[in-house]
A and B are shown apart, each in its own frame.
Chain A
Amino acid sequence: MTSRNLNFKHRVAVVGAGLTLFRRRLQETPQELAWLAAKQALEEAGLTLKDIDCVVIGSAPDAFDGVHMKGEYLAEGAGGIGKPVVRVFVGGATGVFVPIAAWWHVASGLCKRVLAVAEEKMSHAAKPHPQYVFRYIWDPIVEKPLNPNLLWIFAMEMHRYMYKCGVKKEDIALVSVKNKRNACGHPSAQLCDPNIKVEDVLNSEVLVWPVQRLDVSPVSDGAAAVVLASEEEARRITDTPVWIKGIGWTLDTTHWTNRDLAFPEYVRRAAEMAYRMAGIDNPRKQIDVAEPYDPFDYKELHHMEGLGLARKCEAPILTREGVTQRDGDLPINPSGGLLGVGNPIAAAGLMKVAEIFWQIRGEAGARQVKKPVYTGLAQAWGDLMQAGTVVVMGI
C-alpha cells in the first residue's frame, strides 16, 4: 500500500475509556456489562449517549454468551439505540479491531463521535466448562473429530517456539510472574498475585505440555469501552486527546497445520501496516510502552518479536534482563495483561487499548510506567493462530 494517500481527511483521537471488573462470573447480563463500560467511557469523556453518532461492537464467539446474533443483542447496552451499529469480529483479535473499525467510522467523515464497546461473558457457557466451547473453533471436518482441546494449538505453537529458539520454560514463566504482579495495580484485575514466583508457575497443574495452568489466562466476564472522536470534536472534548496514529491487521491462512508456528508472521505484517501509517521505522526505539496480547505467557514474547520490539528469539532475553518491567526501558503489559487482569476475550483486547490511553495521559496511577510515554501500542491475536491486530497511539 505504498501508493496510498496518507493524508487522511480526519485525524482520530481517543477521548475516554471505561472498564468493568474482570471476574470469573459476573451477575450482570451481557447488555449490562456493555452498558457499565460504555457509561464509564462516556463519563470520562464528559459526554452522554446523545453525543454519540455511531456504535462499534466487538465480541468473540456467540457460543460463550449463548446468544445467536450477539451483536444485535448487545447493541442496546452498548448504546446502539436508534443508531448505526456494527459488530466486527476477528476471533481473539477482536478487542483491538474495535478501535480499528471505529477509526474509519471517524476518518471517513461519516461519524464524528463513536462509542466502541467490547464485551464477553464466558461464564454463561457453564456446563460442562467454558473451555468446551472452543471445540467449535476447529475445522469441523478434519480436526474436530479428533476431539481436541483448544490448548492443543497453543501448546503446539509454544513448543515449536521453544524448540526453534531454545527457550526454557523458566524464561517463559517470568512473563506470567511479571503480569500477575503488575495486575495488582489494576482496579479491574481478576488475578493479582504480588508474591507469585517462577516456581509457582512451573509447579502449577500441567494441562497440555508445555502449557501449565499459570501459563494461561483465566476464563472471565467483563466489558471495555472507548470513545473516539474526530480532531475538531476531540479538541472540544478534552485538552489531552490521544491520537490513533496507526492501524493494521492481517489474517494468515486458515490452514495452520501447513505453516511454521515459530514466528507470528501475521503480527509482523499487521505491525508493518500500522507502523507505515504512523511513520515508525524503528519500533524498538519509537514505541515507549506496549500491550501485546498475552493469553499465554509465551505469546507476549512471540508477539514482541512479531511487532519488531525484539529480534527473533530475543524477547526472552529482554524479559530476563528486566527490560520489560514497568520501570524498564521497554515496559510490556504494565496493565497486567490478560494473565493478570483477566481474559474476557474481546474486552481484554480493548482493555489494552484503554491501558495505552491511560499510560499516554499519565493516568495509570500505580501502573504508570517510569519512562515518559509519547507513543504506545496495543495488539491482539486470534482465530487459528492467524489474526493480528495492531493500534499505535500517541500524543
Chain B
Amino acid sequence: MRRVKYFPEVMEIEAYVYTAGPVGTKWLEGLREGRLMAAYCPRCNKLFLPPKMYCPYCFGEVEELRPIEPVGVVESYTVIERDFNGELLKEKRVLAFIKFPGVEGGLVHFLKTDKPRIGMKVAPKWREKRQGLVTDIEYFVEA
C-alpha cells in the first residue's frame, strides 16, 4: 500500500477589504486629489508618514494632516531583477525608501530611473485615474 504523501490545500477567501482608519482615509483621499500630506502631531510638533490616528513617538492622538512639499530624498534603493522564485523580471524595477525633508518616516515606493542613487531628489508621478491608494502615485521620478 503506497502512502499518500501530499495533500494539496489552499487557504483563501475571495478578498480582504482593508480600511485605512479616519486619518489614513483622509490621507488616501488627498492622494486621490493628487496631494501628498503627512500626519501632524501637535504635542511632538512632528510631521510623519505614513499617517496614523496615533503618534508613534508620543502615543497621543493625531487628527490633522498637513500638505507637504512632494519632493523627497532617496534614503535607500534596490534594483529588483528577480522575483521571489528566482525568475528574471521582464523589466528591472527600482524600489526605494523616500524621506521628505522635515517629515519623520517616509514612503516605500518605486522609482523610474536608470541611475538611482542615495540622496537623489524625487517627485511623484501621479496617475491620471486615481482611486485613493498609494498606487495613485505610479512611481517617483528625479525632481
Given A39-B59, A125-B16, also A28-B21 (CB < 8 A) = yes
Q: In chain B between 77 and 91, which residues have their CB closer than 8 angstroms to a CB of chain A?
A: none
* Residue B13 CB within 8 A of the other chain: yes
Q: How many residues of A contact B (CB 8 A)?
A: 31
A residues within 8 A CB of B56? 76, 81
Residues of chain B from 18 to 66 with CB closer than 8 A to chain A in the complex: 18-22, 24-25, 52-54, 56, 58-59, 61
Distance from A116 Cβ to chain B, minimum over Cβ atoms (Å): 16
Q: Is the CB of A31 within 8 A of B16?
A: no
What is the CA–CA distance of A133 and B7 in the complex, to the nearest angstrom? 19
Quote the shortest CB–CB distance from B43 to chain A (angstroms).
11
Is the CB–CB distance between A126 and B15 below 8 Å?
yes
Kindly state the separation between the CA atoms of A28 and B13 in the bound complex, as whole angstroms: 22
- Is B14 at the interface (CB under 8 A from chain A)? yes
B20 partner residues in chain A, CB cutoff 8 A: 27, 29
Query: In the assembled complex, which residues on chain B have CB atoms less than 8 Å from the CB atom of A49?
Result: 58-59
Query: How far is A133 from B59 in the complex, measured between Cα atoms in Å?
Result: 32
Instruction: From the candidates B7, B15, B54, B58, name the one contacting A141 in the complex (CB within 8 A).
Output: B7
User: In the complex, which residues of chain B have a beta carbon less than 8 angstroms from the beta carbon of A39?
Assistant: 54, 59, 61
Residues 10-51 of chain A, each 1 if its beta carbon lies under 8 Å from chain B, else 0? 000000000000000111110110010011001000001100
A102–B2 CA distance with the chains assembled, in angstroms: 49
Chain B CB within 8 A of A144 CB: yes
Asked if B1 lies at the interface with its beta carbon under 8 angstroms from chain A, I say no
What residue in chain B is nearest A124 (Cβ atoms)?
Answer: B16
- Please, which residues of chain A bring their CB within 8 A of the CB of B54? 31-32, 35, 39, 77
Range of interface residues on B (Cβ < 8 Å): 20 to 34
Contact among A25, A29, A81, A132 with B21 in the assembled complex (CB-CB below 8 Å) = A29
- Given contacts A27-B21, A28-B22, A76-B56, whether A133 and B13 have CB atoms under 8 Å apart is yes
Bound Cα distance A35, B54 (Å):
7
User: Who on chain A is nearest to B7 by CB?
Assistant: A141
Whether B21 lies near A126 (C-beta < 8 A) is: no
How many angstroms between the C-alpha atoms of A76 and B61 in the bound complex?
14
| A166 CB within 8 Å of chain B | no
Q: Are A63 and B52 in contact (CB under 8 A)?
A: no
CB distance from B30 to the nearest CB of A (A): 17
CB distance from A233 to the nearest CB of B (A): 19
Name B22's closest neighbour in chain A (CB-CB): A27
Q: How distant is the Cα of A140 from the Cα of B8 in the complex, in angstroms?
A: 9
Measured between beta carbons, the chain A residues less than 8 angstroms from B53 are 28, 32, 35
On whether the beta carbons of B52 and A32 are closer than 8 Å, the reply is yes
Given A39-B59, A49-B59, A79-B59; A31-B11 close (CB under 8 Å): no
* A255 interface residue per 8 A CB criterion: no
Q: Which of A97-139 contact B (CB under 8 A)?
A: 123-128, 132-133, 136
Q: Which of B13, B19, B24, B58 contacts A132 (CB 8 A)?
A: B13
- Counting CB contacts under 8 A, is B9 at the interface? yes
- Whether the pair A48, B59 counts as a contact (CB closer than 8 A) is yes
Determine if A66 is an interface residue (Cβ-Cβ < 8 Å).
Answer: yes
The 0/1 profile, CB within 8 Å of B marked 1, for residues 69-109 of chain A is: 00000001101010000000000000000000000000000
Contact partner of B13 (CB less than 8 A), chosen from A25, A48, A127, is A127
Min Cβ gap A180→B in Å is: 27
Shortest beta-carbon distance, B29 to chain A, in Å? Answer: 13
Min CB–CB distance A37 → chain B (angstroms): 12
**Residues of B with C-beta under 8 A to A136:** 11
Q: Is the CB of A27 within 8 A of B19?
A: yes
Which of chain B's residues have a CB closer than 8 A to the CB of A140? 7, 9
Whether the pair A63, B18 counts as a contact (CB closer than 8 A) is no
Partner of B19, one of A29, A79, A81: A29
CA distance A38 to B52 in the complex (A): 15
- Shortest B22–chain A CB gap in Å is 6
A187 to B120 Cα, complex, angstroms: 52
The 8 tightest CB contacts between A and B, nearest first, are A66-B16, A127-B14, A126-B17, A49-B59, A35-B54, A127-B15, A29-B21, A28-B21
A27-B22, A144-B9 are known contacts; what are 19 more A-B pairs with Cβ within 8 Å?
A: A27-B19, A27-B21, A28-B22, A29-B21, A32-B21, A32-B53, A35-B54, A38-B59, A39-B59, A76-B52, A77-B52, A77-B54, A123-B17, A124-B16, A124-B18, A128-B14, A133-B13, A140-B7, A141-B7
| B contacts, CB < 8 Å to A | 7, 9, 11, 13-22, 24-25, 52-54, 56, 58-59, 61
Q: Can you report 11 residue pairs joining A to B where beta carbons are below 8 Å apart?
A: A26-B19, A27-B21, A28-B22, A29-B19, A39-B61, A66-B16, A76-B52, A76-B56, A77-B52, A81-B56, A127-B15
